Amino acid sequence: MTELTVRGSEEHTARNMADALTYLGRVASDAGYHSVVADIHVLRDRLASIARAEEEAKRGRASA
């Protein structure tokens, strides 16, 4: 049972991290930490790309 729970949570890790970085970028901008916002957005975009690739792979496995 634990194994299924871990896999389920790992499935969305990249997407959740990208969402968290979106929030962090907004907070950093609001706080005036403009020098790190671009770096945060680069990381967010990389994680979003990983999440899309994982989702496409999952759809491919499901249709096979």
* Model confidence band, residue 8 (pLDDT cutoffs 50, 70, 90): low
- Residue 15 lies in domain: 2-63
As for how many domains the chain has, the answer is 1
Q: Return the pLDDT at 16.
A: 95
pLDDT in tens, 38-54: 999 999 999 999 999 99
Q: Return the pLDDT at 2.
A: 44
Whether 12 has a pLDDT exceeding 60, the answer reads yes
How far is residue 46's CA from residue 39's CA, in Å, rounded to a whole number?
A: 11
Q: Is the dihedral of CA 48, 50, 55, 60 positive or negative?
A: positive
How far is residue 14's CA from residue 53's CA, in Å, rounded to a whole number?
A: 10
Tokens of 26: 């907004």
pTM of the model: 0.75
